[in-house]
Amino acid sequence: MENSIFEAYEDEIQSLEEEIKLLAEKYEDSQQESTFFSDEEILMSIKSFQREFWGESKGYESPSDLKALLETLETDLSFLMKFTGIRFTSHSKKTVEKTRNGTVRKHRLSGKCHSLSFQLEFQLLEMQNKDSVSTVITDLSIVMESGEDSDVSKFVSSTEEHRSLLTFFRSLSSYAEWYEHRRCTFLHFK
Amino acid sequence: MEPGRRGLMPAFPCGKMEEGKARWPDGVFAHLEMLEARAYEAAVKQEETEQREEKLARLKARVQELRRQRDELRAKVDLQQKGLGKAGVVSDAAQPSARAVLEWKIKSVKAMLQVFYLTGISGKLTKQGVCFCISTAYEGTYLDSYYLDLLTKPEVRIHRHSVPTFIPLEQIAKKHLETDIRRFLSVLADHLNAYVGRRHQADQLQEHFSDQIEGTLQRNSLCNLLVFNYNLSSRSKTFPFNARLLYGDLCCSLPTEVSVSCTPEAPASLAETAAAHSALFRRVALHRAFRSFSSAAERADVAP
């Protein structure tokens, strides 16, 4: 009889701990998603951070560690943009729902692939499995600059219907490269 | 005991002095032992009860502390949501520290790098070259990712990778790696996405329509040859159809050759259905085709 009281308390403790973890993550996500700092603000912060802690580092990450990390990440990002030809001009996301089963986020993404502009809005569901995270697109809407082209609009609506975000990017890449090649060829003959 | 004879009488009432003396030590010690045992048990029980009460008190305290933390966080999140509702941007009372700004930027860049994962090609620079990550998906579901660690000096070559052995990586590398890395990755991604797409269809079929399939689906590791016996309804106990799907194009997730036949015992009327399925499997993803059977069957049931 008494053991059931213990179990009840222990169950409540576990569920409270999970809830606290979720709430903390929700708060962090919201903070991240609703803040924005310009490049100048970031440069200023790097300088003032280094001044504050010159010579001494408190905690794990010294200013030079963070600065180095930021540089590495930005170098990787700019390499990928150059290599793939896909340049993102803006990206925002908002956590729509966060439960024990998974997180749903709404993303707004705009960019250019070579010279073709696109704007995307999609919903992403991420579920934590035993040792991996599964990602599923649950909603997708695409706006393309050359949307009047009937082939392009057919492609866009079929992609939206099947929520094939990956196929969109892969096809966009090869189409944009061909388009670019054609454009250069025409310019060459002008 | 008579008051007058205090000094002379033994403490314990017993029979005649002579007889009692022989039995007396046993009786006393047995009684003492019993009392000791009882006292010990009582002490143990007392300790157990105290421990239980202590544990209960600890658990209660923990629950109260966690409830307090949880309520605090809830209030914080609610306030945050209200603040967002008003202005769209959170206006922090205090100026964010330089460290906070940097950490925000780092998270932001990391998020952008994660978006590249969704495009199919992502990666990072290494000391000796680049480590690419090819992500695969079937429609909206992202599936496995594969890594390629490339060295770039003196020429481009593969250092390590996680591509399965049945994908012709060496062939593709020989043809494209040194001349056009982008093309190499694109062709490799075609193979990987097609493989993963075929595997996903077979998995979905096995998972959602297992009662319409006899036993398990037979497939090779490349998932470009599928053989199975099936029926149209989960209620039927026989599997009159035999299907063999060959995916001749390794960059495609639809079969190039399909043969659906009926078992000799099956009624002749099914031959037409088999031919129709043969055509269907060539155009429509396998698990989608089966889903259309179920809905057709349901409609047939409902029809008068």
| pLDDT per position as a tens digit, B145-184 | 999 999 998 889 999 999 999 999 999 999 999 899 999 9
Of the candidates A145, A142, A167, A138, the residue with the CA atom closest to the CA atom of residue A156: A142
Of the candidates B181, B301, B143, the residue with the CA atom closest to the CA atom of residue B234: B301
Contacts of B140 in chain A (CB under 8 A): 136-138, 140, 162-165
Q: Residue B267 — pLDDT band, cuts 50, 70, 90?
A: confident
A vs B: CB pairs below 8 A: 168
SS3 B269: coil
Tokens standing for A141? 């809407």
H/E stretch holding B50 reads helix B17-87
In order of A55, A93, A162, B36, B101, the CA distances from A42 in angstroms are 21, 20, 40, 77, 6
Span A37-60, average pLDDT: 72
Res A119: pLDDT: 95
Convert the pLDDT of each residue in A156-177 to its tens digit: 999 999 999 999 999 999 888 8
Res B22: pLDDT: 53
Res A76: pLDDT: 95
Q: Among all residues of chain B, which has the CA nearest to that of A40?
A: B101
The alpha carbon of residue B35 is apart from the nearest alpha carbon of chain A, in Å, by: 29
Q: Residue B142 — pLDDT band, cuts 50, 70, 90?
A: very high
Q: Among all residues of chain B, which has the CA nearest to that of A11?
A: B63
Q: Is residue B70 packed enough to be buried (19+ CB in 10 Å), middle (13-18) or exposed (0-12)?
A: middle
Contacts of A46 in chain B (CB under 8 A): 98, 102
What is the value of ipTM here, to two decimals?
0.84
Span A64-84, average pLDDT: 92
Contacts 24+ apart (CB under 8 A), A172-176: A172/A86, A172/A113, A172/A116, A172/A118, A173/A84, A173/A85, A173/A86, A173/A113, A173/B119, A173/B186, A174/B186, A175/A116, A176/A85, A176/A113, A176/A114, A176/A115, A176/A116
Span B217-226, average pLDDT: 94
Task: Name the amino acid, one letter, at B264.
Answer: P
pLDDT higher at A42 or B94:
A42
Look up tokens 């222990």; give the residue.
Answer: A10
- pLDDT at residue B20 above 90? no
- DSSP code of B5? G
**Cβ atoms of B168 and B195 closer than 8 Å:** no
DSSP β-ladder status, B218-219 and B225-230 = antiparallel
Task: Name the amino acid, one letter, at B31.
Answer: H
H/E stretch holding A128 reads strand A116-128
Res B242: pLDDT: 93
Angle between helices B17-87 and A2-34 (to 10 degrees): 20
φ/ψ of residue B165, rounded to 5: -65, -25
In order of A110, B133, B160, the CA distances from B121 in angstroms are 17, 6, 17
Of the candidates B280, B279, B285, the residue with the CA atom closest to the CA atom of residue B252: B285
Whether chain B has a CB inside 8 Å of the CB on A14: the answer is no
- pLDDT at residue B3 above 80? no
Tokens standing for B16? 């005649």
H/E stretch holding A122 reads strand A116-128
Of the candidates B97, B38, B16, the residue with the CA atom closest to the CA atom of residue A66: B97
**Cβ atoms of B263 and B240 closer than 8 Å:** yes
pLDDT higher at A130 or B47:
B47
Of the candidates B228, B244, B224, the residue with the CA atom closest to the CA atom of residue B164: B224
> For B88-218, where are the alpha helices, taking DSSP H only?
98-119, 169-176, 181-208
- pLDDT at residue B80 above 80? yes
Q: Residue B15 — pLDDT band, cuts 50, 70, 90?
A: very low
- pLDDT at residue B9 above 60? no
Tokens standing for B133? 């990550």
Q: Among all residues of chain A, which has the CA nearest to that of B107?
A: A32
